[in-house]
Amino acid sequence: MIRSFVQKKAVRTLGLSVMLLSASALAAQAVEIERVVSPNGIEAWLVEDRTVPLVAMDFSFEGGAAMDPEGQTGLATLLSSTLDEGAGDMDSEAFQAKMEELAVSIGFNATKDRFYGSLRTLTPTTDEAFDILALAVNDPRFDETAVDRMKDQLIAQVRRQQKQPNAIAGRSFMEAMLGDHPYAKPTNGTEADLEELTSEQLASQRDLLFSRDGLKIGVVGAIDAETLGPLLDEVFGSLPEDTDLPEIEDAELNLGQTVARSLPVPQTTVMMGLPGLERDDPDYQAAFVMNHILGGGTFTSWLFEEVREKRGLSYGASSSLVPYDKAGMIITSAATRADRANETIDVMLDQIERMANEGPTEEELAAAKRYLTGSYALRFDTSGKIAGQLVALQNADLGIDYFDRRNDEIEAVTLEDVQQVAQRLLAGQEPTIITVGPESN
C-alpha cells in the first residue's frame, strides 16, 4: 500500500474531522490557559475542555528551513514529510496503518524559522497516540524506499511550481528582497539539491533541530495537567537540552528593484515588497491595523476598492504583514490582464503613497478595529486552531495573557499611531516589484 504525500495527510485527518468541527464550543467561552510543567521539566500551555472527547497538541522547535545547509535546500521540508514514514519497528506501511486503526492524525511542517508538529486523537486512544508520536519524534527510520518516494513527490512539486506564476513570483521576490540571506533559499528546495539528499542528512538535521531549548507546546482538549505531564516526557523528555543552531543575522531588505519573469500565460502576476516589522516591535499592532486598511481586508481595503471595484483590473489585490524572526516585510500582490499590468502597478503604488502621506480616516480606522476585534473569535473555532494559537503566542513571546489583552491593544490604536507607522514604513520607500507574465509586458 503506497500512498502519495497528499493522500496520507487526508487519511490521517478523516477520522477526526467531525470532532474538530464540533470543538467550536470553545470559541464561545473564555479561553483559560494553564501552564503545565512535566516531571522532567517540559513546559506546555494547556486549555482543558471536556466538550468533546478529543485531544489536540501542536508543538514547534526553533529552527526551520533557514537552517538547511548549503547545497541541501529542502532538507527540513523533506524531514517533515518523512518523520511519519516509519518509526521504531514499524515501516512506512505499518506506521500509516496504525494511525488509521487508531484514527490518529500526526503531521509535521517546516517554515523559515521553525519546525512544527501536530497530534490529533480521540481520548480513548490518547496513550497509543502519544506512543506513536514519541516514535516519530525520537526514532524515525528514514528507510531509503520511503525517503526516495517522498523525494520524488517533492521534486514533482518543485517541477510544477516552475510553471506556476505565483510560485515563480514568490521565489523571485524572496531572492530579490533578501539576496543571499538564508530566508531566500526555497523552502521546498531545488530539484538538484533534493536529488542528492540522503537518510543520513535527514537524521543529522533532526538531531540539530529537535531539542528542548526552543520547544513550544500547546494542548487543547479532554485532558488534565496531571495526565498530560508524563505524556510530554514520553515524547520530548529524551531530547537534548539544547543544540548548536547556526546564528542567522538580521536580513537587509533590497528595495527599489524591478524583476520581470517571462511566462506564456494570459495574466501577469504582480508582487511588491516594502519594509515591515518583526513581531516584537512596539508599533506592530498599529502596523497590523494599517495593513488591514491598505490591503488586508478582503472586500473593504483600499487596494481591493481601487484595483478591483473601481477599475476592474483584478479579481483581488491584497497586502500582508509578514513578520519573520530576522526580517519584517509588507507584501502586496495582484494578478491582472497582461496589457494592464503597468496600470495595476501604478494604482497599487498610489494607494501605498496615499497611506504614507494621508493615512486613513477616523471612520476607516473604526471599521478596521471593529472587524479585527470581532473576527478574532474565528481563530478559536476548533481545538486545533487554539492549539496552534497557543504555540504562536509562545513563539512570539506574547505572554500567557495575550488572548485577554489582544483586542484591547487593537482598540488602543489611534489614528496618529497608524499615521506614524505608515510614515515609518512607507514614506519615501521604493518597493521591489516582481512581475511574472507575457514577455511583451
Size of the chain, expressed as the number of residues it contains = 441
pLDDT above 90: residue 4:
no
pLDDT above 60: residue 441:
no
pLDDT above 90: residue 3:
no
Average pLDDT over residues 329-350: 96
Query: Where would I find the H helices in 15-49?
Result: 17-22
Q: What is the C-alpha to C-alpha distance for residues 47 and 32, in angstroms, rounded to an integer?
A: 6
**Band of the pLDDT at 250, cuts 50, 70, 90?**
very high
Enumerate domains of the chain plus CATH numbers.
5-236 (3.30.830.10), 258-437 (3.30.830.10)
**Cβ pair 87, 135 in contact under 8 A:** yes
Average pLDDT over residues 376-394: 93
Long-range contacts of 29-34 (CB under 8 A, 24+ apart): 31/380, 31/386, 31/403, 33/390, 33/400, 33/403, 34/225
**Band of the pLDDT at 29, cuts 50, 70, 90?**
low
Compute the mean pLDDT over every residue in the chain, rounded to the nearest whole number: 93
Which pLDDT does position 31 carry in this prediction? 81
Angle at alpha carbon of residue 267, lines to 263 and 272, rounded to 5°: 85
- Taking Cα atoms as reference points, which of 270, 418, 426 lies closest to residue 352? 426
For 145: left if phi > 0, alpha if psi spans -120 to 50, otherwise beta; the answer is alpha
The pTM (predicted TM-score) of the whole model is: 0.92
The Cβ-side half-sphere exposure at 36, using a 13 Å CA radius, reads: 25
Which pLDDT does position 26 carry in this prediction? 52
Q: What is the C-alpha to C-alpha distance for residues 85 and 94, in angstroms, rounded to an integer?
A: 9
Which three three-digit cell numbers place residue 390? 497557543
For 294: left if phi > 0, alpha if psi spans -120 to 50, otherwise beta; the answer is alpha
Percent of the chain with pLDDT over 70: 93
Which pLDDT does position 9 carry in this prediction? 45
Which pLDDT does position 23 carry in this prediction? 45
pLDDT above 60: residue 8:
no
User: In terms of DSSP bridges, do strands 328-337 and 314-323 run parallel, antiparallel, or are they unpaired?
Assistant: antiparallel
